[in-house]
Amino acid sequence: MHEKTPLASQLEVYFDKLWPICRSITGNGLRQSLEILQEIIPLTQHEVPTGKQVFDWTIPKEWNIRDAYILCPDGKKIASFADHNLHVLNYSAPIHKKISWEELQPHLHHIPEMPDAIPYMTSYYKENWGFCITHNEWKTLPKEGEYEVFIDSTLESGQLTWGECVLPGTTEEEILFSTYLCHPSMANNELSGPLAQAFLYQKLAALPNRRYTYRFLFAPETIGVIAFLSERGHHLKKELKAGYVLTCCGDPGAFTYKRSKHRTSLADRAAEHVLTYQHKQHSVIEFAVGGSDERQYCSPGFNLPVGSLMRTPYQRYPQYHTSLDDKNFISFQALAETVETYFDICRVLESNETFINQIAHCEPQLGKRGLYPSSVDPLFNREETHRLLHFLSFADGEKDLIEIAEWRRESALLYQSIIDNCKQASLI
């Protein structure tokens, strides 16, 4: 057994804190979750009032819930919100009523193919109420008699909340990390995303210097990002160089990188470079609308360079959107590796400049600069010397470091000391 790394341990601590909270696209659960994350990353909470128009959408009412359950004809209490917050159809209107089995049935969701799973269901934009139970439980229910349904919720004017943090760099050019915070107790989709993103902040904040400004967004999926873009979209169109949606970051499967619509944007090149040349087992998929908030970022009016590095994507694992997407399904080691991989992408982005070899006509005489041990020198390192000569040969002011490194089919991160040496020798 591997010992857990410190990062994996911390991820688990915060997973356990965030797990029990019933989040939705608005409400106290969302605010409470942001407060917990603020222990890791200094987020500012932004609020948008119910009824506000954001592009084609309207901010819905704020939903809060205290309790919910069904009393069976025999008095047995089932589908209790106190037991699992997935038991309630998310965004359910309040109800307290005695009803027949026939009336209850269309409001009772279960999955015959997964008899042990409570499904995750929502109804944000069409007022409704409902309960979700396992198919095994459903089978035991009497299919007649009087049921009592109780949902102690409120749907009232209020706020939609998002958390945001900007980590400044030496330029205004931005890298965006975006994750969503609106699902109740589920692990890979969704807690893995906010957790990875919060700890990625810590690694970036610890860097001695940064070229890029990094923006971190924690918002409810879809409506939250639409609200965010209605305020920041114009700015991002101007400054965003690369962005990523963090979701499904914690299962132990191979990596999946979903490209932006551009397919070869800087976001795509940097992510695919790291996956390929850090030798991560991975696959690459094209942009598709079956996904998460990249749908908004890549909508035709914005078409931002935003991709998504995941592990096993939404809908490709059976536990998705059920109570089985829980702590057992994810691995904190895998989640920590996802954080490290995103951090490597940032390191590549930071170093991915174009360079101009100042001695462009023929090779520089490296020997006189102490950079080229002669072949009789026991210190001669053919690999490193070739890399240096290669770098100088391709440092033409047009090719960036990713392109230079990929010509040799190797990681751009191998070039850091070469770049430092060349700068010191005034070669670039």
Residue appearing with tokens 């760099």? 169
Buried b (16+ CB within 10 A) or exposed e, 103-122: ebeebbbbbeebeebbbbbb
Non-local (6+) Cβ contacts of 18 within 8 A are 33, 36, 37, 191, 194, 195
- Tokens standing for 298? 């890549």
Q: CB of 23 within 8 A of CB of 181?
A: yes
Examine residue 313 and tell whether it contacts a copy of itself (CB under 8 A): no
Q: CB of 17 within 8 A of CB of 32?
A: no
Single out the residue of 147, 357, 419, 422 in contact with a copy of itself (rule: CB under 8 A): 357
DSSP string covering 300-369? TTT---EEEEESS-TTSSTTTTBTTSSTTT--HHHHHHHHHHHHHHHHHHHH--EEE-S--SS----GGG
Question: Percentage helix, strand, coil, to 5, in the chain?
Answer: 35, 25, 45
Examine residue 27 and tell whether it contacts a copy of itself (CB under 8 A): no
Considering only residues 266 to 295 of the shown chain, the ones binding a copy of itself according to CB under 8 A are 286, 288-290, 295
**Closer residue to a copy of itself in complex, CB, 109/282:** 109
Helix locations, 79-130, DSSP H: 101-104
Examine residue 233 and tell whether it contacts a copy of itself (CB under 8 A): yes
The burial of 238, by beta-carbon neighbours within 10 Å (0-12 exposed, 13-18 middle, 19 or more buried), is given as: exposed
DSSP string covering 56-70? TEE---EEEEEEEEE
Single out the residue of 35, 116, 146, 396 in contact with a copy of itself (rule: CB under 8 A): 396
**Closer residue to a copy of itself in complex, CB, 19/317:** 317
Examine residue 118 and tell whether it contacts a copy of itself (CB under 8 A): no
Examine residue 354 and tell whether it contacts a copy of itself (CB under 8 A): no
**Applying CB under 8 A, which part among 20-28, 126-134, 204-212, 340-348 lies near a copy of itself?**
126-134
Single out the residue of 6, 112, 208, 300 in contact with a copy of itself (rule: CB under 8 A): 300
Beta-strand pair 108-109/131-132: parallel
Q: What is the 3-state secondary structure (H, E, C) of 360-425?
A: CCCCCCCHHHCCCCCCCCCCCCHHHHHHHHHHHHHCEEEEEHHHHHHHCCCCHHHHHHHHHHHHHC
Considering only residues 29 to 88 of the shown chain, the ones binding a copy of itself according to CB under 8 A are 54-58
Examine residue 426 and tell whether it contacts a copy of itself (CB under 8 A): no
**Closer residue to a copy of itself in complex, CB, 77/423:** 423
**Closer residue to a copy of itself in complex, CB, 233/250:** 233
Considering only residues 97 to 116 of the shown chain, the ones binding a copy of itself according to CB under 8 A are 109
**Closer residue to a copy of itself in complex, CB, 164/344:** 164
Q: How many residues bind a copy of itself (CB under 8 A)?
A: 57
Shortest gap between Cβ of 215 and a copy of itself (angstroms)? 18
**Applying CB under 8 A, which part among 35-43, 202-210, 332-340, 394-402 lies near a copy of itself?**
394-402
Considering only residues 128 to 157 of the shown chain, the ones binding a copy of itself according to CB under 8 A are 128, 130
Considering only residues 79 to 98 of the shown chain, the ones binding a copy of itself according to CB under 8 A are 89
Shortest gap between Cβ of 248 and a copy of itself (angstroms)? 18
Distance from C-alpha of 25 to C-alpha of 179, rounded to nearest angstrom = 13
- Tokens standing for 29? 């659960």
**Applying CB under 8 A, which part among 124-132, 150-158, 203-211, 330-338 lies near a copy of itself?**
124-132
Single out the residue of 157, 407, 416, 417 in contact with a copy of itself (rule: CB under 8 A): 407
Examine residue 202 and tell whether it contacts a copy of itself (CB under 8 A): no
Residues in contact with a copy of itself by CB under 8 A are 54-58, 89, 109, 121-126, 128, 130, 222, 225-226, 229-230, 233, 261, 286, 288-290, 295-296, 298-303, 357, 359-365, 367-368, 374-376, 386, 389-390, 393-397, 407-408
